[in-house]
Chains A and B, each alone.
Chain A
């Protein structure tokens, strides 16, 4: 039982990071981006390439881990390269496709386009990297026993998982400070509330949109790398997480960063706790169940800001 809670929180923190990007693009650009999952996949695979590059440069055959984690500095450096590159992909996609379609003005066409872009991006990745699962590190980690087995089944967590959880919390706090304390962050929130009014008050809406893509894609890349670190890298990594991301964003209320985080944790817990009830093969359907329930009960989400 405790083990399921811990697993749920860890997958939940990955979902939370991805869902922030979904909720921000949804709030600012007003469309559900079906391509967001691909930012996770591309981020994870770009980090894999960067990691390979670092190792080749230093001549090492595998990275020497920082105890007690399974990964070393090269992976953190790879994260630093992969995240901006993923942001670049998002900006290119916006420039090529979404910005042009925005000018025509029909939001739902953007959703169709994002659906097409997602498939193209995913298959482009599969074309380059192939479909065989990859790993950042082949080190086997011994899970630390936090709770002895006789207390509610016990709980074991690997250091990597703890790292993911901690970094997710830090990232969200930094983002919160950015959105509430900096001028740029305030401009972002203003644009989300009313783009026309924001433009009139002198906010550069185009710059805010670029910033949204950068933040969303970078957080997506981080989430993708974490997902790859705790499980494995597959071309479907991001696509399989897309439904949980949407579920988290809707559950938390579109536009709310903290809502997306709490929504992500709830969806992660729901998936994990559903395993003994419906079996592991149906855990992916839990996100769908969450969406149906929230749409029937409170479609604005748990933490949506009131709209006038």
Chain B
């Protein structure tokens, strides 16, 4: 029976991570899958969300900003707001230019934020990070399986809400404009759509979702440190989206599940076969594996497991059917 509980505790733990990654991947999918924006700073925006929510809700830290003790929901809203503001600044600087400039600029902001997380002691606690981040309903369920399950329910609720909202958005006229700009910017501009404004909107909303994902992570683990938001996180999310299928929200969720499973299993296998004193090398090999997976996916099946769905406006579909 205790083995069963152990397994279930682990399974819920695993699934909470999948739900968090899937949420962030949905934000990335809005940017890349539907708008064609290449964001290499995912880890940075996730970090902003995690730190903002932690600072807003956590108890008083000695010699540090904090002690606001706000409700967790407000922390999450704050996380989205902060990530959105950062995205606005980056977007205004880089989105008028060629795609690569956005990649380089987002790469830069992720590195800069990593430095801030490491060095701005009064704000982020430096290398030691922030601890005692409140966990929702901890008083009610305690620790262990019951609490894991309750957090899984919350994470799935958030994921479901984001999924539903994004599906509505990308099927709306607004979503069609995004795809039009992605496919042919000149044509879209000729039709009177201001590409820059639409790109900026998509970029900011995507980053807000990433910030929310970061907050979900912070309140699940209860402790965050700069090394939680290294470039490898960005890379894992890209692998999830590419494997699952960019431009498909179900694909982003499926990719999060598949890549996180591959990551966890390969980590376990490598830890099993590599001697204890060589574990750091094993961890390096794990990253090589995912890198090769991403490259192979781009070469062999660039559309991912689930490709982009072909969508037409409900009205256009109706006329076509009527016409036939």
Contact = CB atoms under 8 A, between A and B. Distances in A.
Interface of A: 26, 31-32, 34, 96-97, 100-101, 104, 107-109, 111-113, 115-117, 119-120, 123-124, 126-127, 130-131, 239, 242-243, 246-247, 250, 279, 281-282, 284-285, 287-288, 291-292, 295-296, 299
Contacts of B242: 112
B295 A113 contact: yes
A295 B99 CA distance: 13
A104 B302 contact: yes
Interface in B228-286: 231-232, 235, 238-239, 242, 280-281, 284-285
B100 A127 contact: no
Most buried by A among B103, B287, B295: B295
B309 to A, nearest CB: 19
Determine chain A's interface SS by DSSP, over half rule.
helix
A299 B40 CA distance: 19
12 contacts: A108-B100, A108-B103, A109-B298, A113-B294, A116-B239, A117-B295, A119-B288, A243-B104, A243-B108, A284-B112, A287-B108, A288-B109
B292 interface: yes
Nearest to A245: B104
A295 B92 CA distance: 10
Nearest to B238: A112
B313 to A, nearest CB: 26
A287 B287 CA distance: 27
Nearest to A281: B119
Given A112-B238, A119-B291, A127-B288, A292 B105 contact: yes
A32 B100 contact: yes
Contact of B298 (A31, A101, A127, A239): A101
B101 A112 contact: no
A292 B288 contact: no
Interface in B199-242: 231-232, 235, 238-239, 242
Given A32-B104, A131-B280, A243-B111, A101 B291 contact: no
B302 A284 contact: no
Interface string B13-45: 000000000000000000000001010100000
Contact of A119 (B107, B232, B298): B232
A123 B294 contact: no
A31 B100 contact: yes
Interface in B87-123: 93-94, 96-97, 99-101, 103-105, 107-109, 111-112, 115, 118-119
B107 A108 contact: no
